[in-house]
Structures are given as structure tokens and as C-alpha cells.
Chain A
Amino acid sequence: MLKGVNRKLGLVIFLLSAGYLTLSYNLPTYPYIPVDADVIPKTLGWILLVLSIALFFAKDQDSEEQKARRHIPREDVKALLGVFVFVFIYITLFETIGFIIMTAAFVFFCSWFLGYKQHVVNALVSILFPVFLYSVFVFLLSINLPQGILPF
């Protein structure tokens, strides 16, 4: 039954639309309002539901390039996960540690992790770029970025 990409995708989108519709039907409604807050969401939910069914029964028409794109080598999956972990750590500690330190660390280690071997250039870019951006945003444009543990 679930042979073919469109069938799997159709099923996932069907479940998503069903979830969205449930939430839409739980939205409160008020009297004397011609079009309440729930009308558009309900309409969208039903349209998506119909489209998911249409996709389920649609023939797979993927090009070879598209098929190749879906195949991600294990090494690349690891690299992608690694980058996401870096970004996650960056976001989590960004406000506590501060913009300059976290950005410098992120740019340096992420580039290194992805295979950039010129460590001196990497270190210089990692330090100068955040310092420049921080100065422009904070001192020139008065848009505060987190200073964190640094005194400025």
C-alpha cells in the first residue's frame, strides 16, 4: 500500500491535515461575526486533506536527479547532524556567553569540523567578523546584541 514516495508523503500530509483540522475545530467561535477566526483554518485544513489524497494517488514522476537527491550518504548525514548540533549549542549559549565569544567559537569550530584546514585564516575570520558585526550593530546602529560575559 505504501509503495512509492507519493503514497508515503500523502499519508504524512493526510495525518498533518487531520491534526490541523482537529485544532481548527477546537478554536473558539463568537456570535455576530460573519467570518470567525476558525473559518480560514478549517478551509485550509480541508483543502490540504483533499490534496494529500490527490498526492497519495498521484503517479511518482521523479527525475533521476530527484531520486539521487533523496539518497544522502551516511557521511553527509553525520556532517549535517554535526552542524545542527553546533547551531543548537550556539543558540542555547548565545545569550549567556555573549555574541562575540559564541560566534567566534561557532565559526571556527564549525568550519574546522567541515574540513577547513587553514587554521590561522579561520581564527582570524572567526574573531574579526563577529567583532566587526558587533561594533556595527551595537555602537553604530544602537541595536544591542548579547554582551554575555565580556565587559563591553
Chain B
Amino acid sequence: MGAVEGILTGFEVALSLEGIMFVLLGVFVGTFIGMLPGLGPISAIAIMIPITYGMNPTLALVMMAGVYYGAVFGGSTSSILLNAPGISGTVATSFDGYPLAQKGQAGKALAIAAISSFVGGTISVVLLMIFAPVLASVAVSFGPPAYFALMLLGLTAIASLSEGSTIKALIAAIVGFMIATIGIDPQTGTGRFTFGSANLLDGIDFLVIALGLFAIAEVCFLVMNRRKKSVTNGKDIGSLKLSKQDAKEISGPAGRQSFLGFILGILPGAGATIASFISYITEKRIAKKPEEFGKGALKGIAAPEASNNAATSGSFVPLLSLGIPGSGTTAVMLGAFLVLGVQPGPMLMGDQPEIFWGIIASMYIGNIFLLILNLPLIPYISRILTVPRPLLISLVIMFSLIGVYAISFSTFDLYLLLAFGVLGFIMRIFAFPAPPFILAFILGGMMEQSFRQAMTSSGGNISVFFTNNISLVLIILSVISFAFPIIRNLRKKKAH
């Protein structure tokens, strides 16, 4: 079956009454669960698996795909409104989304996120349709050295994420990396920095760090400004109005970063998080006014949002074409396939084309539903920021605490959350930026594993990183990416 014939079959499934209903249901449930504290796409898909028992596999999987990208989108809402990213893929969205919301333009921020997600989702589905069979083989050719180099490239964002002092940004990143080393070492089984506590054997969860450094630290500043009004300009808070200039401003980043997000999404292990960070720094670097980033730049919301949604579709490439889950979320998704008696992989396209193409076609419709469902809700959701500060503070703390408890069921993690909140507050007082910390924490663990795997496979020979073409190119790019902003800063200082 050719691609054109295949996609027509897919649309037959997706545009049937049942197809439309299940896509709509999936997108709605996904967005709702994604907005809840602590629950991201993994929990959303896992929760939905029992509901699909006995269902038609095609419709069930079409619904699950909707749950997946709906939850990714839902996660950006708390990032923008409360500076409380629920999943790692939406951390970069909070860098500019939250400042814009604080300026009284929460509706605009959410609308840009929705539109960019739509653009990212749609462009990536087209790419998925065209390149799925070919790209899968590229993803497989990425070995540990190339992964290490990719993570390194992601980490070079630190140089761009430093607002003032580069030394402080580097210190924040190293401490973030150090936190990532806590727990059992997966290669040797050695407990590192656990101080004999069983609670630390699994390491520290991402959500504890993200909500501590961003949400709880922000709460501290809200407490200090508790007598001020919730937002500086509450009049247009829910307004979705985008001017022609705004639309023009976000169209470039949303378009460009959709391609980048899709490519990074295909690579197992990279996914939405790296995609969103790399997209954010790329836009910051090519922007005419990079100093606006971090203060509510529209491009700073459009880029990571388009990218993380495109990466979500990209992650379906290895899953559908090879049966390999590239992330925790797609691993749960693979579970859902198996529960329904569907074996994803090279044979899927030939044996069950209605499933393969049905999922792809449903994504077109799902992205439209995501936009239609969410845009009308934005004015109401945005009003959360008009809640009086004392009440908002209590609710954000509660939101963060439940978020952490719902994934770990441990009060120890709640104390840790509090500790990281204090750390985040101290860091902000002394001008240590939090983004490099969280970036290094997320990438550090993966980077260490790839490095050690590569070294083990080469018998301890470090030249493995330079003899592999992909890794060599990525390392050269990393060096340029790291050095460029530092040299630019030094030149600026000299000029002054």
C-alpha cells in the first residue's frame, strides 16, 4: 500500500463518526489530565489503558494518541500560569510564558502556546506521514557516542541561558548535574550520595526539582509581594487577541522549530525536553533582540511549544516503524499497543495499515480539536491569575505538593520539594539562574549513561567520540554553540 492510498485509508478511520468521537475524547481527557498537578502524558496514557480493554484496537489507539499530545499541551498551562511545569517538556515554555502572564497577558500567552502547538503538531504529522519509514533507520544509527554528543549539544544551552554571570550559570548547571548523580548507579549498582536513605535510591524525581526551583521559589517572592495585586494589568488577562505583528513574530519560530522538534523527537531518549530547550536557545540566538527573552518574548513561547508538540509526533516514528519506544511515554504507549494485541514494528504498515495510517490521520484531526477545545477555554483558565495573592499562594503550594505526592506517594519527597524551594529562592536572591540547573539535571543522567556506554563499548578508548561521524559533527556544533555566546558577551563588555 502506497503512502497516498495509506493516508486515505487512515482518513476513512479518523473521519468516521466513531473515529472523530474517540479523537475528541482522547484530546479532551489528555488535556484535562495534563493540566492536573503531577500528571503528565505517562500517567494519562497509563490511566486510560484499562478503559481500552475490549475496544476496537484502531479506535483505542487513535484515542490514546489523542491523550498523548493532549496531555503534552495541557502541561504547558500550569507552566505559563503558575510557573509550575508539570513535565520536563514544558519547562522552557515557562521561561517566557510566565513573565508574559505576569504582565497581564495570560490569555495571549496561552493562545500562542495553543497555536504554536497546533502548528508544531500539524507540520510534524505531515513529516511523519512522508518520512516515517525512512527516518526510523536514521534513529537506529544513533549509538551511545552520538547520544552523548547530542546531550552535550543540549547542555551548551547553559551559555545562552545565563542572564548575567556565566560563572554563576555554570555553577548552577554543575550543581544540577550533581543532583542527577544521586541514587543507584545503573551500571554498577553502587549507591551514590544516598546517605543510607532508601528514599534516595531511585534518585530525585524531576517534578520535585522543577516544582521546587520554579513554583515554590516563585511562591516565596509572591509572599514577599503579597499585598500587591495579582497581576500588573488584569484587564486583558483573558484576551486572546493577537495583532498582525504578533502573528508575524510567532510564525517564523513556530514553523522552524516544528521541523527541529520533529527531528529531535525521532531520536530515542531525546524527545520533547531536549527539543524544547534547543528550540528555545536557537530562537534566542538568531533573534534581533535576544535581551527580550526571559521577559515575556512571544518567540520564547512559540518556539518550545511548537517544538515539544512536533517532538511528540516524531516519537511515533521509532514506535510505529520499529516497535522501539524512545521515551517513558512511548514505552507506556507500546504497552497499550500490546494490551490491544497490536505489535508495532516494520510489519505493522503492511499487516494492519488501518492502524498505522489511522493513527497518523487522526493526528491531523486531533490537532484541530486541540485548538478548537482550548481557545474558548483560555479566557476562563487565565482568570486564575486574578485570584487574590494570599489565596493564590496557598493554592499554588497545594498544587505543587499534590503534584509530587501523586507520583511518588512519599512524604519524604514533599520535604525535598520544600528544600528545593528554599534552594530556588536562595539561587534567585543571589542571581544564580535556575534554567541551567534544571537543564543539567534532566540531561546529566542520560549524558553520563551514554558516555559510559560508549566508553565501555570502545574498551575505554575516548577516540570513539571523534571517529563516529555523527558524534564528531555534534561535538563541533557543541563547541561552537558554547563558545559563541560567551565570546559575544566578552566583546560586548569590551565595547562598553
Contact = CB atoms under 8 A, between A and B. Distances in A.
Interface residues of B, number: 59
B171 A84 contact: no
A143 B398 contact: no
Interface string B153-183: 0000000000011011011001101100100
Contacts of A40: 181, 448, 451
A20 B178 contact: yes
A72 interface: yes
Contact of B418 (A23, A54, A87, A141): A87
A interface majority secondary structure:
helix
A48 B181 CA distance: 14
Interface string B112-125: 00000000000000
B188 A80 contact: no
Interface string B376-414: 000000000000111101110110011001100101001
Interface in B218-237: 219-220, 223-224, 226-227
B82 to A, nearest CB: 14
Contacts of B398: 103, 106-107, 129-130
Contact of A136 (B36, B389, B455): B36
Interface string B123-148: 00000000000000000000000000
Given A35-B455, A69-B428, A107 B394 contact: yes
Contact of B171 (A13, A41, A45, A137): A13
Interface residues on A, range: 35 or more
B290 interface: no
A133 to B, nearest CB: 6
Interface string A59-82: 001110010011010001001100
A16 to B, nearest CB: 8
Interface in B1-40: 33, 36, 39
A113 B391 CA distance: 10
Interface string A121-142: 1100100011001001100011
Contact of A122 (B33, B178, B391): B391
A145 B174 contact: no
B452 interface: yes
Contacts of A144: 409
A61 B162 CA distance: 14
Given A55-B167, A125-B395, 11 more contacts: A27-B192, A33-B187, A41-B178, A51-B174, A52-B171, A76-B224, A88-B418, A90-B401, A91-B415, A137-B402, A137-B406
* A-B CB proximity, top 9 nearest: A34-B460, A114-B390, A116-B390, A37-B185, A110-B394, A37-B190, A91-B414, A35-B452, A107-B394
